[in-house]
Each structure stands twice: as C-alpha cells, then as structure tokens.
Amino acid sequence: MTKTGEGGGVAEKEPGQDFGDADDPRLAALDQRLAKAKAEGAARQGVKVDADRGYSQGSRVISALIGSLVGSALIGWLFDRWFGTAPWALIVMLFLGIGVAFRQIIRISGERPE
C-alpha cells in the first residue's frame, strides 16, 4: 500500500486528469472547434458582417457594370466598322451588355457574405 504523502494517489495516475498542463493538444483542438462553431453561428444569424467582404462585392459590381458596358460597346463599334452597319451593332451590343451586367449584378448580390 502507498501512503498519502508519497505521491502515488489514484488521481495522479489516471489519464486526462492533469489540469495543470496548459499546452494540452485536446484543449487547443477544443478551443479551435468552439471558435469555428461560434463564427458559423454568428454568420448564420447575420450578427457579424465583414466590411471587407462588402467592399469586395461592391468592387465586383462596379467592375461588372463598367466591364460589360465598355466591352460590349467596343465589340459593337468594331462590328459597325467591319460590316458598315452604322450605329445598329453598337446599339444592339450595348443593350446586350446592359443585360449581361444586370445578370452579373443580381448574381453577385445574391451571394451571402461570409
């Protein structure tokens, strides 16, 4: 038998009972899982909105609008020059560019911020 003062008690030899060790990998993994769960819960409830994400979406909307309009106008102007159809190809391509731009804007605005 061991005496109480010798340090051979049952609580000292059981696994998982060392509360003095702060570098326990199980606790670190649990902390990471808890932080991830809290972030996912906040995102689901819409509590935290990332400002950088909103800025990124705004930049994508502006670039989609400008890029679609400029690109379609350039293509329409080139078709007019090649085929001699004065303003008609430019007008048609501008309307197609507007449609594409709105489609992209609707798709971007439907994305959920993380």
Q: What is the pLDDT of residues 34-73, one digit of tens each?
A: 888 888 887 777 665 556 777 888 899 999 999 999 999 9
Q: Do the Cβ atoms of 80 and 86 come closer than 8 Å?
A: yes
- pTM for the full predicted model: 0.53
Alpha-carbon distance of 3 to 11, in angstroms, equals 14
Q: Which residues in 15-25 are b (16+ Cβ under 10 Å) and which e?
A: eeeeeeeeeee
CA atoms within 13 A on the CB side of 11: 3
pLDDT tens figures, 5-24? 555 555 555 565 555 555 77
